[in-house]
Each structure stands twice: as structure tokens, then as C-alpha cells.
Amino acid sequence: MGAHVLIVEDEANIRKILSTMLQAEGYETSESENLSGAKEQLRARSPDVILSDLRLGREDGIFLLKWLRDEGIATPFIILTAHGTVDSAVDAMKQGAFDYLSKPFDRTELVRVLKKAVLTGQYQNHSAVKTWSTNASQFPMVGTNEKMQKIGVLIDKVAPTDSTVLITGESGTGKELIAQALHERSLRVKAPFIKINCAAIPGPLMESELFGYERGAFTGAVSSKPGRFELADGGTFFLDEVAEMSVEMQVKLLRVLQDKSFERVGGIRTLTVDVRLITATNKDLDAEVKAGRFRSDLFYRLNVVPISLPPLRERAGDIPLLVAYFVNKFSEKLKKPAPTVSPETLELLLQFPWPGNIRQLENVIERLIVMNETKAISPDQLPDEILEFEEERFYATQGGTLKEQVREATRRIEKRAIEEALLETGSNVTQAARKLNISRKGLQLKMKELGFR
């Protein structure tokens, strides 16, 4: 993941342990032993999460939290509390801390909370929706993924040229969006953007769709009609699902590419057009050529500038941004207040493999917003396919028997409940026990068993 965590802790030992632990988990860390050091680091570079001790010598971690919020910095802030400082942890939560961890913290708990904090931070960061191309656009392409950034640079470079572009990528990865962006950023922007989907048009109709026809060319051709190539004159022609084109049509298309001219069906006049051609396919066109289904000479003509879009699961880091973007988009469209998305929900969205890519994510969010009446989207609002996937993944990755897993889950819930009861009662075991509806002795035993000190 590579998120950056700033550790603020006065005890050098704990600082080192935390830092080593987090680096082993793939985090980048920086350290500070006091408030002034932390502020200095924060001014230089903002981390994704801050992990701060509550007691820093004679200083107080909450001051750092207050300072941050006064400066308008919303970085998720996690408090580390030692026994006896739980009251202050409550205070910290009121001041807007993301969560607290009591010492001695266990590694899985620490990593779990951190992961959630990083996600939340990324999600909050969407206010400036990060698009991956430098030009402002009517079709914003959201994401900060490195591959997509490179594609963004490529688009800005290729758009103003007349080069033919072949866009490949799984269904729903944004191929059409790229084609539109190329047109929008080209010198042809004022001329039409015409598209045709080869898979949607029956073979026999394809020729007249593309090239038009003259009156009387076939039964029913009562008047002449221009084809889409003519309509696109001066502009951009987007040929979607090009792998579905018949070999016969491939030959005709090749000719248009070679001499920019063609005849309408039933026509004798040769027409000349000036179009920029962009094609797209979710098939491996190279393999289609090898299998003899696609002409290699046409392939080379189309594949002048190839753009290959990675599936969403290979750029899962963009999911929080995309979610934020779609939540806002559909809330605006439906004139509803935009809900937040809980970190647990984001985590599930992040783990889902998205076979239908961005289109599927977009549809899921649209449905959520349509149905939603709450302030925060929780996991139970997600569609079954995502919840079921998560369940299967859980059993597949957790290992251990079902019984062990249930025991572990119970242990975590108990631990959390006890922590909360202690927090609320200022660590008064008697009162906490009453809150939890167990005996004082029972609570003490439980606390020992769960490793409380």
C-alpha cells in the first residue's frame, strides 16, 4: 500500500517498535518525539495518517490534534493510550481523533485501524477530484493510478494529432471515455464525434450504416442517406468493438484508411472524407489476427497508437476516489445530500474484483444512492454479490476452523466492548462491569484473559 504514517511518541523504544512493525506491513514511516518536531514534519510533508501518543513527556498529543484541526488539516489521527489515560482518549475522540488504541496494542488491531484510517483519508481527499489528465474536461477521468497517469499524458500528446488510436481493455474500463477525451482535446473538437458499435449492427446493415446509400440501392432505399463516415467529416469517428467486424467489411475499411475515399452503397460517386479514426475492442486483437479472424494489414493500420486500459482490480487504489466521485455525481443528480461511506464499506468495495470494472462500480453506487436514506453508507446496503464475495474470501483466507474463527471474532468484540465500557466509566472496573452486565470479578478475569493491563 505504501501509505505514509507519522509516528509521534516520546519513548524511543516504542517509536522504534512501531516503526519497524509498520514498515514490515509495507507502510512508510517517519518519526517525531515531540510536538514541535511533529509540526515541523507536518509542514514539510503531510502523511496519510498520524499515530500519536497521548502523553509526550510533559506535552499532550491532543494539542497536536487541535493544532491540526485549527490549521484545517483533516489527516486521520490515531491516539495511543496507556492504562490510566482512557479519559483523555474520550476527549481525543471528541476532538475528532479517528480512533484510539490502548497499549499494549496488538499488531493485527493496529494494522486494522490504520488501514481503515488510510482509506478514510483517501476518501476525504476527494474534494479536489483527482483526474489523470492535465486538461480540464467535460469527461473527467478520475484516478491517480500510475498507469492511468501515463495514459493521461499520452492522451494529451496524441489528441491534437490525427494518429489512429486503438484502445483495448476489458468491458467497462473506460474505452469510450478515452475516445471522447481524445476528440475533446483535439483540433477537431468543433466537428462531430460519431460512433458506431460493430457488435450492435447486424452484418448486412453495416456497409450502408458506415458508407450510406443511394436511392434505389436496395429495396426500401426510397431516398439516399449519408453514412456515418460522411457525417464524421472533419471530426472523429469512433469504431467500437472493431473485432466484431466481418472480414468483408474489414477490406472496405482498409480502403477508407488508405485513400480516405469510398462510395455509398449503390452509388458511383467517390466521396472523400477527412476523419480521425479511433477504434476499441475488449478482445485481444493480436490473437484475432493470429487466428485468422482479423486482417493483419488492417490491424497494423489501426494499431498506430495503442492504449491499453488496466482492469479496475489492477488499479484498486483508485476505488476510494471513484466511489467519492460517483457518490457526489449521483447525489447531485438525484438532488439528495451526499452520504459518507463508512470505512468498512470502502474496504469491501476495495476487495471486490469488479469483473464489470468501472461501469459496474458506477452502477452499484448509483443504486446505493437511489436507495439510501442514511447519512453513512454501511456494508449491509451493498448488493449481495459483494457481500457474498467477502464472505467467501473471509473463509478462504482466514484459515482455521469455523469454530476458531468465531472464537477470534468474539474475542475482538469482547475486547472492544470492554474498552468502551472502561472509557465511558473512566476506567472504573466496578461501573464498567455493571454497564456490561457482568460481575466485577468476571470482568477482571476477562480483562486478564484478553491481555488488558
> Could you list the residues that contact ligand ATP (CB under 6 A)?
141-143, 169, 171-177, 282, 358-359, 362
Minimum Å gap between C-beta 195 and Mg ion is: 9
By beta-carbon proximity to Mg ion, the closer residue of 15 and 175 is 175
Choosing among Mg ion, ligand ATP, none, which partner's interface includes residue 143 (Cβ < 5 to 8 Å by kind)? ligand ATP
Task: Centre a 10 Å sphere on the Cβ of residue 384 and count the other Cβ atoms it contains.
Answer: 7
Residue closest to Mg ion when measured from CB atoms? 176
Minimum Å gap between C-beta 363 and ligand ATP is: 9
Q: With CB under 5 A, what is the number of residues at the site for Mg ion?
A: 2
Minimum Å gap between C-beta 143 and ligand ATP is: 5
Choosing among ligand ATP, Mg ion, none, which partner's interface includes residue 331 (Cβ < 5 to 8 Å by kind)? none
CA distance 10 to 52: 9
Which residue intervals of 232-356 are DSSP H helices? 247-259, 285-290, 296-302, 319-333, 343-351
Choosing among ligand ATP, Mg ion, none, which partner's interface includes residue 282 (Cβ < 5 to 8 Å by kind)? ligand ATP
For residue 267, the SS3 value is: coil
Q: Which residue's entry shows cell 458499435?
A: 197
Q: What angle do CA 291, 292, 295 make, to 5 degrees?
A: 130
Choosing among Mg ion, ligand ATP, none, which partner's interface includes residue 173 (Cβ < 5 to 8 Å by kind)? ligand ATP
Q: Residue 180: is it exposed, middle or buried by C-beta count within 10 angstroms (0-12/13-18/19+)?
A: buried
By beta-carbon proximity to Mg ion, the closer residue of 176 and 207 is 176
By beta-carbon proximity to Mg ion, the closer residue of 175 and 295 is 175
Q: Which three cell numbers stand for residue 270?
A: 467517390
Question: Is the separation of the CB atoms in 131 and 137 below 8 Å?
Answer: yes
Identify which of 290, 294, 175 has the alpha carbon closest to the alpha carbon of residue 246.
Answer: 294
> Which amino acid makes up residue 43?
R
By beta-carbon proximity to Mg ion, the closer residue of 7 and 167 is 167
Identify which of 320, 397, 372, 414 has the alpha carbon closest to the alpha carbon of residue 117.
Answer: 320
Identify which of 101, 119, 8, 2 has the alpha carbon closest to the alpha carbon of residue 56.
Answer: 8
Residue closest to ligand ATP when measured from CB atoms? 174
Minimum Å gap between C-beta 286 and ligand ATP is: 18
Virtual torsion, Cα 239, 146, 2, 313, nearest 10 deg = 10
Backbone CA torsion sign across 213, 215, 216, 218? positive
99 is a contact residue toward Mg ion (CB under 5 A):
no
- Length, in residues, of the chain: 453
Minimum Å gap between C-beta 243 and Mg ion is: 13
Choosing among Mg ion, ligand ATP, none, which partner's interface includes residue 141 (Cβ < 5 to 8 Å by kind)? ligand ATP
By beta-carbon proximity to Mg ion, the closer residue of 176 and 244 is 176
By beta-carbon proximity to ligand ATP, the closer residue of 115 and 183 is 183
For residue 445, the SS3 value is: helix
Residues 164-193 that bind Mg ion (CB under 5 A): 175-176
Minimum Å gap between C-beta 197 and ligand ATP is: 8
Minimum Å gap between C-beta 181 and Mg ion is: 13
- Which residues of this chain interact with Mg ion, rule CB under 5 A? 175-176
